[in-house]
Homo-oligomer: A and B are copies of this chain.
Amino acid sequence: MRFIRTLSKAARFVPESGTYPKGFAVGGIHCGVKKDGKSLDLAMLHNTHSKDGVAAAVFTKNKFKAAPVQVSRRIVDEKHNQHINSIIVNSGNANAVTGAQGMKDAEDMVKVTDAIFEDGPNSTLVMSTGVIGQNLPIDNILSGIPRLGLENLGSDHAHWLNCATALCTTDTFPKLVSKQFEVDGTTYTLAGLCKGAGMICPNMATLLGFFVTDAPVSPAALKQILTYSVDRSFNAISVDGDMSTNDTIVAIANGAAGGAVIDVGTPAFETLQQSITEFAQQLAQLVVRDGEGATKFIELRVNNASSFEDAHKIANSIANSALFKTAMYGKDANWGRILCAIGYADVGSDAVVPTTTNVSFIPADGSEPLKLLVNGEPELVDEDRASEILAHEDLIIDIDLGTGDSSTKFWTCDFSHEYVTINGDYRS
């Protein structure tokens, strides 16, 4: 059984224009990984401003790390986050569990990209996404790299959109955002691209993302900001709770917009960290919007928790509960399942105390919240009102733990028949 996914979200979430950071050229072409012979499957980003790009990266914690993850991690470490100027990505094949050949292929993708820009060795990070356990059609990729890098890069909106599109596997829309912010009178620009919708095809995997800015940022500051922002964005989303072998998020700053270097401890640091975090959240939310089979977009707000980590674990526990997610799909105000998932989260006994726990639905239309549980005692819920609230695509669930003063947000989607169809029936 094949399925047809609605493309209506594409119109709502794909920008028609954008303002992009200075000093970056990007693009995407078809090089011959995807078997349809035409879909874009090779994406590149290059820092044209200088040879001094500052880069930070976070990678999957999965023990079966794909070859490109191992290669990119080595490069970021060896180069101490400096002099990294390009990103090369193929979609359609994850180059994961591919043995020694896979490592050589990932290294060759770096070498060829370095060579066409006459950069020193290891100036490029590499990413792959797609099928696990098959070797790359490496000749197609290596011949595609010069064609993309020398003939098809640019800085127009169309180039950025091509680049984002070439990251996609079975995403229903490319994920691209841009914004400007100001630090000490200088205007900087951020652009972000990512892909991911769960694992739509059998063996298809991966969250990939990168964001780039023309702000001048020190390596230490960029590393710290990336970790902070990813903890509050890409690490705070869940479609199905499966952590892939290829997850990679990269940030590159080239300083092309001028101004003083932003370092840890400078007044501009907080501003930059806040801007990048909000931006990363915006990008990460697009992955949830495009979640496999998703009909709901759910924001979990965990407040007054004993620590940020505990708040995060509790949100994660709810977001990954199959029973909670199917209830949301069924538009069922089933707070017992929310409570149950809070209760089995892996936190200490001081972190969740039934008599201080409160749960409410916050309607997407700004109307009055609906209380479900107040200090551990169930409310008599107006089921009609609950149905009204749950009829919206968007829903906010507020959990007040009353055990501290930390908080977090987390984004997830529901669990639908279509999810099972996509993941179970795809090849039948």
- Contact in complex: A63, B342 (CB < 8 Å): yes
The answer to whether the Cβ of A371 comes within 8 Å of any Cβ in the partner chain is no
How many copies of this chain sit in the oligomeric assembly? 2
A residues near B (Cβ < 8 Å) are 61-64, 96-99, 131-134, 198-199, 202-203, 205, 240-245, 320-323, 326-327, 329-332, 334-337, 339-344, 349, 352-354, 373, 376-378, 415-417, 419-421, 423-428
**A352 contacts across to B, CB distance below 8 A:** 63-64
- Contact in complex: A63, B354 (CB < 8 Å): yes
- Contact in complex: B423, A417 (CB < 8 Å): no
Query: Within the complex, which residue of B134, B243, B340, B424 is in contact with A64, where a contact is CB–CB below 8 Å?
Result: B340
Q: Which residue among A61, A97, A336, A428 has the maximum number of chain B CB atoms within 10 Å of its CB?
A: A336
- Contact in complex: A427, B332 (CB < 8 Å): yes
- Contact in complex: A420, B329 (CB < 8 Å): yes
Instruction: Give the top 6 A-B pairs by smallest Cβ distance, nearest first.
Output: A330-B424, A132-B336, A326-B423, A64-B343, A62-B343, A326-B424
- Contact in complex: A323, B64 (CB < 8 Å): no
In the assembled complex, the CB of A328 is this many whole angstroms from the nearest CB of chain B, namely 8
**A415 contacts across to B, CB distance below 8 A:** 322, 420, 424
Give Cα A335 to B132, complex, Å. 9
Query: Within the complex, which residue of B329, B335, B423 is in contact with A424, where a contact is CB–CB below 8 Å?
Result: B329
**A240 contacts across to B, CB distance below 8 A:** 322-323
Provided the pairs A62-B344, A132-B336, A344-B62 are in contact, do residues A322 and B242 lie with their beta carbons within 8 angstroms? yes
- Contact in complex: B424, A327 (CB < 8 Å): yes
Provided the pairs A63-B354, A336-B205, A342-B64 are in contact, do residues A97 and B326 lie with their beta carbons within 8 angstroms? no
